[in-house]
Homo-oligomer: A and B are copies of this chain.
Amino acid sequence: MPKNRPNLKDGQLLRKGHLYFMPHLSLDCVIFGFHDNQLKVLLLQWKDTLRWSLPGGFIYKDEHIDDAANRILLSRTGLHDIFLRQFHAFGEAGRVEGQHGLKEISTSKKTWLHERFVTIGYWAIVEFHNVMPAPDEFSEQCKWWDIHRIPKLILDHNMILERALASLRRNLNDYPIGKNLLPKTFTMPELQRLYETVLDKKLDRRNFQKKILSLDILQRMKQRKTGVAHKAPFLYKFDEKKYQRALKQGIKFGI
């Protein structure tokens, strides 16, 4: 049960954060979404410096780090129960000596935020349309960026993002994907675009269909997609039970 978790505003985080959060330890989330046949990442722009970064945060002293990741995800996206995966802890000695996002930090005298930080990286995949990106009191805005057009981020966040993407790609061969990235129902070409986008590679339409269907995690709906040009594609949805089983047991996709 959360006990010591006040909502720290403004300068309070700087002055009082060390009372409630674990020092030296932070957490960064790479939140992937899928829209317009493009892989997107949710980024945050800091006030004052207007620099961009991964959404991140700190871990309450009585909080499981996975819960902290979920909390941070919830606060930026409004989403619960997201597929979340820890992929690496980054602990170079000089990590925080780069430039911060907050001007206040750069200019104020030494606080707990000036100390060295080890950060634990998580990635998540979310359904684009369900997300209402939410900046907090420290951030100017929070918005989706195309994976191919990521700006220069603070600290080592560009590298962390790269590592997250690599982890996501490796994950693709062992576990199904799509449940949280696509709408409830979707077409086979849409699912293929998702795979092609994440892998950054063209796939054969027919072989892809065969492979995916052989995983036995999809259900074909009765009606086809309406209001589209050309031949109407079938709609599919994930079979919840089978999808969950595949998530646990793993699959052999081999792409």
Contacts and interface: CB of A to CB of B under 8 A. Distances in A.
A73 to B, nearest CB: 16
B92 A89 contact: no
Contacts of A64: 91-93
A157 interface: no
A65 B91 CA distance: 5
A25 interface: yes
Chain A's interface size range is 20 to 34
A177 to B, nearest CB: 17
A62 interface: yes
Interface string A176-210: 00000000000000000000000000000000000
A118 interface: yes
A225 interface: no
A43 interface: no
Contact of A120 (B23, B24, B89, B92): B89
A156 interface: no
